[in-house]
């Protein structure tokens, strides 16, 4: 579980004054109470204005009631995560995705992160550690013009940033769960006639906006096709595949059942071209994918679906590999890549991924043909990080006082009760 601390008012002074040690003490304790794994940044403090129609001009703009900007939040959270040495880096959702402003904000944030000149400081006792200090969620959604060169160039030049790709599945309908009021505003204005679905709005104390609705992606729509192509473009043109993870932005963009077909787009140009035949005509004319002959080999596909996500989470020693000490999570496919050219016979890969008959979890068989073991339970991974700073009791006392004065709950009530049998501490 990643905690969204982007709108956490108890951190107001830390964000404003850059008090990283005090911030680290509080957040380490918060992770211990909630069994959180790390931190997510999502539209920092834009919900200061309760009216969801009200948007700030730029992420460098300070608030009306506080003297810091969204960029300050990004900077201080990144510094704090490395101070704590958490397994996963700062996990960022840049505001304004699926719009041009999202790309502008992304460029500003990446410039800020690069200027910090920070090095990875993962302290968790695992041999294979992450390489990044900053993770960008659903990276395909920031180049609404279809030009990903800014991001791919940055990734190829900076190994301490990685991304996940949110592939579009073109399902008949997708649930939409988001906190991005810019996305919601665009839906309410640009597509009001095309998207008649109901919208549920709420605001969570100290967390921010929350929106729930439905929408659909269609191959006839130009911008939907752009989002689809962006994920492929980034996967194919990012040189170091350990900087790229295949994801679905579930449930917003696609679902797990779409993965077998997504795999074919990555490993076969022919599969991509066949899928594109009934797409928007303007998109087909302008898409750079027509002239992109690159494909992933099977090893690279395994990297972006297994190795890279595990490494990004700081769990590369126990997940995403079959080395000594790893958990032993295995899918057994009926596929011989030595005998079959999957770039030409891509249907074989799709069939193999669609019909996985043997699944091993933590060394135990959980699926064998039609048999599925529903009694097997996973674990909740969590980490508090490591921090040695004087004055811990005083700092936490001040935070508890803040909650007592300004929150509807007491700080100690955040403590979660979970069976230790399913907890797995990564330190």
Domain ranges of the chain: 2-332+382-425
- Give yes or no for a contact between 100 and 142, defined as CB atoms under 8 angstroms apart: no
Q: What is the pLDDT of residue 29?
A: 96
**pTM score over 0.85:** yes
Bond from prior residue into 251 cis (ω within 30 degrees of 0): yes
d(Cα 66, Cα 263) in Å, to the nearest integer? Answer: 46
* Mean pLDDT to the nearest integer, 325-348: 93
**Strand 358-361 to 330-332 pairing:** antiparallel
3-state secondary structure 22-70: HHHHHHHHHHHHHCCCEEEEECCCHHHCCCCCCCCCCCCCECCCCCCEH
Taking the C-alpha atoms of 359, 365, 366 and 370 in order, what is their torsion angle to the nearest 10 degrees? 80
Strands (E), 153-218: 161-166, 174-178, 200-204, 208-215
pLDDT beyond 80 at 191: no
Q: What does the pLDDT read at residue 195? A: 59
Supply the pLDDT for residue 192: 53
Answer yes or no: are the C-beta atoms of 225 and 265 closer than 8 Å: no
Mean pLDDT over 323-352 rounds to 93
- What tens digit of pLDDT does each residue of 241-256 get? 999 999 999 999 999 9
pLDDT higher than 70, residue 125: no
Residue whose C-alpha is closest to residue 45's, from 81, 4, 84, 86: 4
pLDDT for res 63: 83
């Amino acid at each position: 579980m990643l905690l969204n601390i982007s709108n956490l008012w108890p951190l107001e002074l830390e964000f404003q004054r850059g008090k990283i040690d005090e911030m680290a003490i509080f957040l380490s304790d918060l992770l211990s109470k909630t069994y959180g794994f790390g931190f997510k940044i999502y539209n920092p403090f834009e919900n200061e204005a309760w009216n969801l129609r009200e948007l700030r001009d730029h992420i460098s703009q300070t608030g009306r009631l506080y003297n810091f900007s969204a960029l300050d939040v990004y900077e201080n959270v990144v510094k704090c995560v490395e101070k704590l040495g958490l397994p996963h880096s700062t996990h960022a959702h840049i505001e304004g995705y699926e719009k041009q402003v999202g790309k502008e904000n992304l460029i500003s944030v990446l410039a800020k992160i690069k200027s910090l000149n920070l090095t990875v400081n993962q302290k968790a006792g695992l041999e294979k550690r992450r390489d990044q200090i900053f993770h960008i969620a659903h990276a395909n959604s920031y180049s609404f013009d279809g030009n990903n060169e800014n991001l791919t160039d940055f990734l190829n030049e900076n190994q301490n940033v990685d991304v996940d790709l949110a592939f579009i599945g073109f399902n008949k309908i997708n649930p939409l769960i988001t906190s991005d009021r810019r996305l919601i505003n665009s839906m309410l204005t640009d597509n009001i006639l095309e998207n008649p679905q109901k919208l549920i709005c709420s605001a969570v104390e100290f967390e921010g906006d929350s929106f729930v609705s439905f929408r659909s992606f269609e191959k006839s729509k130009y911008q939907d096709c752009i989002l689809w192509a962006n994920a492929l473009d980034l996967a194919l043109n990012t040189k170091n595949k350990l900087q790229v993870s295949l994801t679905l932005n579930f449930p917003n963009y696609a679902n797990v059942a779409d993965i077998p077909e997504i795999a074919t787009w990555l490993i076969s140009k022919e599969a991509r071209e066949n899928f594109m035949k009934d797409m928007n005509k303007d998109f087909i004319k302008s898409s750079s994918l027509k002239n992109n002959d690159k494909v992933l080999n099977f090893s690279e596909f395994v990297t972006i679906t297994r190795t890279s996500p595990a490494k990004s989470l700081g769990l590369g020693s126990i997940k995403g590999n079959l080395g000594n000490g790893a958990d032993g999570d295995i899918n057994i496919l009926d596929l011989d890549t030595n005998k079959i050219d999957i770039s030409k016979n891509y249907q074989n890969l799709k069939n193999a991924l669609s019909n996985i008959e043997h699944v091993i979890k933590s060394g135990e068989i959980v699926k064998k043909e039609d048999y599925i073991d529903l009694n097997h339970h996973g674990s909740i991974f969590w980490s508090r990080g490591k921090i040695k700073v004087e004055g811990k009791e005083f700092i936490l006392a001040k935070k508890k006082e803040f909650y007592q004065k300004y929150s509807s709950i007491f700080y100690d009530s955040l403590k979660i009760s979970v069976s230790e049998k399913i907890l797995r501490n990564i330190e």
